[in-house]
């Protein structure tokens, strides 16, 4: 009956295909998004297309801290209001967003773009460790704060960095380990509770 | 009788992969269900009640609900968190190496209780023993026993004659030791010293309390590590990812030791 008949035009199916490549978007979601875009006014889709393009064209990695940025060096590395003696090491650019949101930290950052993961084959050469060590050479840094994730890979990375950095005479600290705000004690795991007890503080 | 919709099992977490926004696919090694995979929902959120119990190198009691494709983790409780193992860079790497081997050498849903015991005991031993190299070699040989790749160390694999106390060869492709005569026709064989063969035989067939008493000099340890690595690589037909990391770690320790001298 429907011989040779394709239910959608080529342009639409191409759009569905492309949307399908995005993380977390399955075939049905891709279809829904594609048909939504078809219905929206042209200005709006144009804006979306241009924004996507400009992200790719304008945004690069900061040559100092490897955060994503439009200017090089990035706003944090270039600012004269930040404490230039501290570097906070994070795994990914999103972590900076989370830390900056607290408005408490006033130092610089360094993004590793990953964590050491022996079973995934991610070694020291695959993340920005050499670049970090170069930054530490000029002697202006007096504290390195390790803010890698608290899972096994993050902890391994932190232990490895500590081994590299502490011989240089730079103070190495890591974020406190303990109970997240808003949780119930009875569900906490042994590692977290052990660390929380070890790191308990005067009231 | 239909299978129950939910079940509970002990498990060692041997692998994890990210899934979607906040989920993970975990690979468990269990005593009676073999290797299984399951989805843990929301464990990448900071307030997850399960995340800490489902970290790599953890021995946990997990509850699972059967799903169409993958089962889902509904609850878990740590039995042993192996904190000592996790808070030491080298030990954690050894532990990961062991779990990677178990993951690579096993297929899903095949029960192998001795192998589970071996992995669990190896993790304990790594925490306690000072001779980690020996613990790992023992683990490797026992693992090969369990998964059906036990190398032939008693007689020449080619001519079946008993081995003379001289430098023989180990051939990964033949799966055992070759006498000097037979090794000439086998280009891909590694020399194996008399002491090396003795140690391998002991590790292969005795229990850990005997094997533990063994002392290896660095040279012998290096020979056996290389030999086992080559054999494992040959069997898996791929690189062992965490082994490369162990090597680079060892290289670094050597460098710092030199600097301190």
State how far the Cα of A84 lies from the Cα of A101, in Å rounded to an integer.
Answer: 19
Q: Do B241 and A119 touch (CB under 8 A)?
A: yes
Asked if A177 contacts A150 with a C-beta cutoff of 8 angstroms, the reply is yes
B84-260 is classed CATH 3.30.450.20: no
State how far the Cα of B180 lies from the Cα of B164, in Å rounded to an integer.
Answer: 9
Which residue carries 């946990």 as its tokens?
B60
Closest partner residue to B52 (CB to CB) among A124, A184, A192 is: A192
In chain B, residues 24-83 whose CB comes closer than 8 Å to chain A: 46-47, 49, 51-53, 55-57, 78, 81, 83
A76-184+191-196 is classed CATH 3.40.1360.10: yes
Residue whose C-alpha is closest to residue B189's, from B170, B205, B175: B170
Q: Indicate which of B17, B26, B96 best probes the interface with A, i.e. most A CBs within 10 Å of its own CB.
A: B96
From the CA of A176, how many Å to the nearest CA of chain B? 14
Which sequence spans correspond to the domains of chain A?
10-58, 76-184+191-196
Could you give the ipTM of this predicted complex?
Answer: 0.77
Is the previous residue joined to B164 through a cis bond, with omega within 30 degrees of 0?
A: no
Element (H, E) at A8: none
Kindly identify which residue of chain B lies nearest to residue A183, measuring between CA atoms: B47
The 3-class SS string of B23-48 reads EEEEEEEECCCEEEEEEECCCCCCCC
B14: helix, coil or strand? strand
From the CA of A144, how many Å to the nearest CA of chain B? 19
Kindly identify which residue of chain A lies nearest to residue B13, measuring between CA atoms: A152
At residue A37, the pLDDT reads 92
CATH homologous superfamily of B6-81 equals: Nucleic acid-binding proteins (2.40.50.140)
Residue whose C-alpha is closest to residue A151's, from A112, A181, A188, A177: A177
**Residue B155 main-chain phi, psi, to 5 deg:** -140, 165
pLDDT digits (tens, 9 = 90+) for A61-89: 999 999 999 888 899 999 989 999 999 99
Which residue carries 């993790």 as its tokens?
B123
Alpha helices in A59-105 (DSSP H): 75-78, 93-101
Element (H, E) at A165: helix A152-165
- Can you give the pLDDT of all 203 residues of chain A as single tens digits? 445 555 667 888 899 999 999 887 888 999 999 999 999 999 999 999 999 999 888 888 999 999 999 888 899 999 989 999 999 999 999 999 999 999 999 999 999 999 999 888 888 889 999 999 999 998 889 999 999 998 899 999 999 999 999 999 999 999 988 888 877 888 888 888 888 898 888 88
Fold of A10-58: Helicase, Ruva Protein; domain 3 (1.10.8)
Identify the bridge partners of residue B35 per DSSP, sorted by sequence position: B29, B108
Q: How far is CA B218 from CA B50, B133, B170, B227, in A?
A: 42, 10, 20, 14
Which sequence spans correspond to the domains of chain B?
6-81, 84-260
Tell me the pTM: 0.84
Which residue carries 């990677």 as its tokens?
B100
State how far the Cα of B18 lies from the Cα of B24, in Å rounded to an integer.
Answer: 5
State how far the Cα of B120 lies from the Cα of A171, in Å rounded to an integer.
Answer: 37
| Sites in chain B below the pLDDT cut of 70 | 1-2, 258-261
Alpha-carbon radius of gyration of chain B: 21
State how far the Cα of A39 lies from the Cα of A49, in Å rounded to an integer.
Answer: 15
């Amino acid at each position: 009956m429907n011989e040779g008949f394709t239910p959608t035009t080529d342009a639409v199916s191409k759009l569905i295909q492309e949307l399908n490549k995005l993380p977390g978007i399955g075939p049905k979601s891709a279809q829904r998004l594609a048909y939504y875009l078809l219905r929206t006014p042209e200005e709006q889709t144009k804006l979306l297309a241009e924004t996507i393009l400009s992200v790719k064209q304008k945004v690069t990695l900061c040559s100092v801290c490897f955060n994503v940025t439009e200017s090089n060096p990035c706003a944090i590395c270039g600012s004269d209001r930040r404490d230039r003696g501290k570097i906070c090491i994070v795994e990914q650019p999103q972590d900076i967003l989370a830390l900056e949101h607290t408005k408490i930290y006033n130092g610089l950052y360094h993004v590793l773009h990953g964590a050491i993961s022996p079973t995934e084959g991610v070694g020291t050469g695959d993340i920005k460790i050499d670049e970090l060590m170069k930054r530490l050479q000029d002697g202006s840094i007096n504290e390195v704060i390790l803010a890698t994730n608290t899972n096994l890979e993050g902890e391994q990375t932190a232990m490895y960095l500590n081994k590299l950095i502490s011989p240089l005479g730079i103070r190495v600290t890591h974020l406190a380990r303990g109970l997240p705000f808003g949780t119930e004690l009875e569900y906490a795991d042994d590692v977290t509770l052990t660390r929380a007890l070890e790191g308990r503080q005067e009231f | 009788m239909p299978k129950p919709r939910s079940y509970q099992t002990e498990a060692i977490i041997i692998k994890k992969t990210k899934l979607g926004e906040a989920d993970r696919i975990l690979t468990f090694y269990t005593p009676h269900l073999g290797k299984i995979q399951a989805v843990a929902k929301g464990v990448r959120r900071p307030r997850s009640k399960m995340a800490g119990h489902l970290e790599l190198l953890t021995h946990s009691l997990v509850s699972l609900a059967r799903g169409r494709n993958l089962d889902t983790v509904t609850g878990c409780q740590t039995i042993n968190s192996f904190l000592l193992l996790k808070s030491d860079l080298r030990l954690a790497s050894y532990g990961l190496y062991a779990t990677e081997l178990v993951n690579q050498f096993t297929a899903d849903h095949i029960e192998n209780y001795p192998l589970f015991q071996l992995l669990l005991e190896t993790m304990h031993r790594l925490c306690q023993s000072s001779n980690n190299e020996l613990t790992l070699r023992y683990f490797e040989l026992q693992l090969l026993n369990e998964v059906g790749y036990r190398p032939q160390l008693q007689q020449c694999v080619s001519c079946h004659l008993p081995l003379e106390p001289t430098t023989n060869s180990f051939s990964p492709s033949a799966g055992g030791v070759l006498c000097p005569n037979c090794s000439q026709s086998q280009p891909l064989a590694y020399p194996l010293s008399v002491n090396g063969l003795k140690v391998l035989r002991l590790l292969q067939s005795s229990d850990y309390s005997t094997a533990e008493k063994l002392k290896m000099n660095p040279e012998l340890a290096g020979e056996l590590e290389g030999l086992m690595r080559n054999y494992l690589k040959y069997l898996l037909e791929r690189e062992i990812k965490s082994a490369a990391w162990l090597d680079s770690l060892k290289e670094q320790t050597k460098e710092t030791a030199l600097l301190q001298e």
